[in-house]
A and B are shown apart, each in its own frame.
Chain A
Amino acid sequence: SQQGEEDPQALSIQEGENATMNCSYKTSINNLQWYRQNSGRGLVHLILIRSNEREKHSGRLRVTLDTSKKSSSLLITASRAADTASYFCASRASGSRLTFGEGTQLTVNP
């Protein structure tokens, strides 16, 4: 398969809790990106972390990258019902191909 793996496949939490999603990829990368997709909509870019970075923050989002393990995690703090969506990681190798994982379906209950 061209895709990496994400876990969990589905995550259900209460508003205010933190949500952590993990992603693994297969090849050496230039950067790794996280996208969000609301039901029936296109994907929206959230954050990009370069291969020489280990951690990056954007608002309530925190992304980590471990290139030795070929893995990344996305943490959403103080979750809100509006964060309910599918979240995908996408790895970009040197040739500019953007390869997506299977995604995590996050449900935040009010």
Chain B
Amino acid sequence: EAGVVQSPRYKIIEKKQPVAFWCNPISGHNTLYWYLQNLGQGPELLIRYENEEAVDDSQLPKDRFSAERLKGVDSTLKIQPAELGDSAVYLCASSLGGPTTEAFFGQGTRLTVV
């Protein structure tokens, strides 16, 4: 079974440019998470989906970040415009749903804004 797939693995962009990340969760997983991880720190939740509904987006900086999960499967996370401080690893994870299930993580996208 394929795991959570993210692309691209690496992205370098200039500040003020837009960028998008893509995530394909494990088949059948209703819950999808986007996390941001700075170097040497733990992941911080940006947004959580239950199927196609964003149920927890209180940590998402909505002035520049947006996300969507069409048809409750794949998801994209967009930043427009990117700032230098957005340089980080963006992790996608999925789970079956429910409080006692584990989350499966993708490899992440390392974003560098120059």
Tell me, yes or no, whether A94 is within 8 Å of chain B by CB.
yes
**Residues of A near any B CB (own CB < 8 A):** 2-3, 6, 30-31, 33, 35, 41-45, 48, 50, 88, 90, 92, 94-103, 105
B8 to chain A, nearest CB (A): 14
Among candidates A30, A42, A90, residue contacting B99 with C-beta atoms closer than 8 Å: A30
Q: B98 on the interface (CB 8 Å rule)? A: yes
Q: Which residues of B26-85 are within 8 A (CB) of A? A: 31, 33, 35, 40-45, 48, 55-56, 59
Q: Which among A35, A98, A99 has the highest number of chain B CB atoms within 10 Å?
A: A98
B103 contact set on A, CB distance < 8 A: 33, 43, 45, 90, 98
B42 touches A88 (CB 8 A): yes
**A7-B40 Cα distance, complex, nearest whole Å:** 13
A-contact bits for B6-36, CB 8 A (1 contact / 0 none): 0000000000000000000000000101010
User: B99 touching A88 by the CB < 8 A rule?
Assistant: no
Query: What chain A residues lie within 8 Å of B35 (beta carbons)?
Result: 100
A105 to B97, CA, bound (A): 29
9 closest residue pairs by CB, A with B? A42-B105, A100-B42, A45-B102, A30-B99, A43-B105, A100-B43, A42-B107, A102-B42, A103-B42
Asked if A48 meets B100 with Cβ closer than 8 Å, knowing A42-B4, A42-B108, A98-B33, the reply is yes
* CB of B91 within 8 Å of the partner chain: yes
In the complex, the answer to whether B105 meets A2 with C-beta atoms within 8 Å is: no
Provide the bound-state CA to CA distance between A44 and B3, in Å: 11
A31 touching B99 in the complex, CB below 8 Å, given contacts A42-B106, A42-B107, A96-B31: yes
